[in-house]
Amino acid sequence: MFRTFRGGHSGGWRVTSISSVTGEPLPFMPALSVTDSDAVSLPLVPSRNAWRLVGVASTLRYTERPEKEQLVAVQAGLGRPEATSAALIPIRKSQAWWDLTQEERRKIFEDKSHHITSSLRFLPAIARQLYHCRDLGEPFDFLTWFEFAPADASLFEELVAMLRQTEEWSYVEREVDVRVVKEVLSA
């Protein structure tokens, strides 16, 4: 199942900001649509009026069994009614990251950066899903989607600030931070 994030002029999420954390930004678009499909059609012509990012949810890559059990016990699912704020954070890591072995990346990810252990305290307030896109020819390696209630916005800021200070983030060569709020249609 492919998840497509499309920045454009219509969608279920209103874009409040798009900022480049490092590297090239994405063009500002006023809306974001999020869709799932069994296939992805490639755009025939690049558009000035929209951008599209596609990824797939996959198995957990750097998580050991006890960590997975901890995560499953406390994490919330996407689509909660109160989670009307969200962030799409596409990330591309450097070739140096990909030249490391799986075991070397795991050591940086958890043993040094404590990605999972440090993030547990932000659950279940912040729900998240990682989508892989490196092997799809996309401009990013990962698309990280976070959902949270507006009351938890400062908690989310604390989470991303913490993660951006880790050794793991020294391998990030492009990161864009797209913030959105759920559009509520009036009757």
Contact, 52 vs 131, CB < 8 A?
no
Q: Residues 167-185: pLDDT tens digits?
A: 999 999 999 999 999 986 6
pTM for the full predicted model: 0.90
* pLDDT grade for 41, boundaries at 50, 70 and 90: low
Domain extent, residue 99, equals 61-182
Select, from the ranges 39-43, 104-108, 125-129, the one with the highest average predicted confidence (pLDDT): 125-129
What confidence category does residue 62 fall into, taking pLDDT thresholds of 50, 70 and 90?
A: low
The candidate with the shortest Cα–Cα distance to 139, out of 25, 18, 19, is 25
For residues 42-50, give the mean pLDDT.
Answer: 67
Is residue 1 included in any domain, yes or no?
A: no
Residue 44: pLDDT over 90: no
Here the tokens at position 163 are 């993660």
* CATH code of the domain containing 111: 3.30.70.3420
DSSP state of 110: I
For the chain, what is the domain count?
Answer: 1
pLDDT at 87: 98
Tokens of 104: 């070397």
Tell which phi-psi region holds residue 12, choosing left (phi > 0), alpha (psi between -120 and 50) or beta. Answer: alpha
Q: Is residue 52 part of a domain?
A: no
Say if 10 falls within a structural domain.
no
